[in-house]
Structure formats: C-alpha cells, structure tokens
Structure 1
Amino acid sequence: MASLKAALTAQEIKVANMRGYLTETSPLFKQAQNELVVLRQQISKAEAQDGTKSADLSLGVSGTSGAESDYIGRYRDFKYHETLFELMAKQYEIARVDKSREGAVIQVVDPALPPERKSKPKKALVAIITTLATGFALLLWVFVRQALRNASKDGETSQKLKQLHAAWRRAL
C-alpha cells in the first residue's frame, strides 16, 4: 500500500512537471495521465481490501493495545515515506543525467548573413583624416620650435625663456 501511494505521488509530480513542457494532447502526457489513473484505481482497490481485512482483524483480535496500533501506523508511514524518497531520488538522478546530456539549448531564429554593402567606419577616410591631423601637428611643432630658436637669439627674450623654463622644471 505504501509503495502504491509513493508511486502515485511520484506520478503526480511527473505529470505536473510534464505540463511545463508538453501539451495536453501529447502522447507522452496522455500516457502519464493514464498511468496516474491506473495507480489511483489500484490504490482504491487496495484500500477496499484493507478495509475488509482490518475489519476482520479488529473482530478477531481484541488484545491489541493503543501503543501497538500506533507503532503499526507509524511504521506504515515510515515505509510510505521511504518508498517515496527512493522514487524521488531515482527521478532526481535521471533528471541530472538528462540535464548533463542536453547541454545548452540554443535556437537559431535567423541565420547570420553578410551585409550587402559595407558599414562605417570607412577605413580610407579615417586614414586620410589621421594623416592630415598628424601633418598639421608636425607643422605646428616645427613652427613653434623655430620661433623658440629665433627668440633664444635675442638676449632679453632668451632671459625670459630661461626663467620660464626654470619655473616649468620646478613645477614638475
């Protein structure tokens, strides 16, 4: 009886999980539901038989104490939970193995296609602008350097440049 109840509970969990990824019309889902119905029928038959047996036992045995019946009830619950645990552990292991086999599920919605025409940045334009900017920077540097050389030839300007150069070194 305990194994039937444990199997019923495991099947109910299995059906509940199947609802997440299968439709109601899926053959696997229908089969799982049929198994669930069969288990419920077996349990109801077993309970009906247990009811007649327990009635016969209660009539025949008058010497059972409350502690014994409590023990029997707790033992039955223990067996039920033990069977349920074993079934759940098996399902858990199967789920772990399935998950490790699957890997990542990647679905390609649209395949990648090369563009019909090139997009930005345009390499030639970048190269020309960089060359012109570098040329202007070098030209400016040459003019400033020549101006400083000409200014250092004049005595008064040379003295001011030396003071400026010394102040600059102290600042750094």
Structure 2
Amino acid sequence: MKQWLLGLGILCVMGLTSANAVSKEVLDIEIKETIKTFDKEVHGGAEFLEKAKGYLVFPNVYKAGFGIGGEYGEGALLVHGRIVDYYSTLSASIGFQLGAQKKSVIIVFLTQKALDDFRKSNGWKVGVDGSVAIAKWGVGEDINTIDFKDPVVGFIFGNKGLMYNLTLEGSKITKLKK
C-alpha cells in the first residue's frame, strides 16, 4: 500500500513539474513581478531585500493533491538584486488534502554563512539542511524594524496577500540549468 501511495505521489509531482516548466525569459519577468508584489504587500519589503545577502524567489509554486499531494515551482537566487542561478522547489505529502493552490515564496538569507551553505549544497532540503522561519509581524509594521533571530526567513503569499500558518518544511530546492 505504501509503495502504491508513493507511486501516486510521484505521478502527481511529475505532472506538476512538466506542466509548470517555464522559459528563462518568462521566469525572469515573473520574478520581477513577484518582487514588486512583495514590496506592495510588505511595508519596507524592497529595503529588506536590499539588505539581505541573497534571496530565492519562486513566483508560482503549485500544490495539488487528492490524499497524496505534490508541490512544485521554479525560481531563482538573487544576490545584490541580480539573478545568479535558477532553482526548483519540490515536495510531496500524504494526508487529508483535496484541491489545488498557487502561492509565491521568497526565502531570504540574512547571513553570508547561510547563503554560502545553501550555494554549496547539492539539493537543499528545508528542515534538514537548513531551517526557514516563516515571517510574522503586525499589520502596518515595517519589516526592517524586526530583529529576526533566524539566518533564513521565508515569506509565503498569494493573490489574497501574505499567508500564515503555512510551512516550507520538507521542500527540496535544487539547482536548474536554464
């Protein structure tokens, strides 16, 4: 039974990956738009990203499931505001789930060590190779006034604004050749 469920999960993820692969040019445009949306949603967002050592931007992370779920998205790592490499994020899950959703994810590296550890990895798994704290703060509060204790902070948002109580645990981030 477990092998059958695992196989179904793999098929779901494969469907997501093939359906959502985009060209480098399209991805670059989507990344710029996602950063603009982040700046609109998060007071002080642009300044926060400028101070970061680097950040991953996944404009469209798709999740679909019917008992077995999969999640996939493509994005890029930006350092000093410039794209340096392209990456994919992938995860699978088992449990009560039905439907589909799309979200955007930005993962910010606040220290040089965290960025270097990520870049040296060969497939970085959230929660194993590094923890990502999901950012939370008060409405109207400037993100730059918060003292984050974790070296890596994640933001999850969609067409209804920032999303809370979501996790990135178990997501595997792998370098792409674009």
Q: Which has the higher strand share?
A: 2
Q: Which has the higher contact order (CA 8 A, sep 6+)?
A: 1
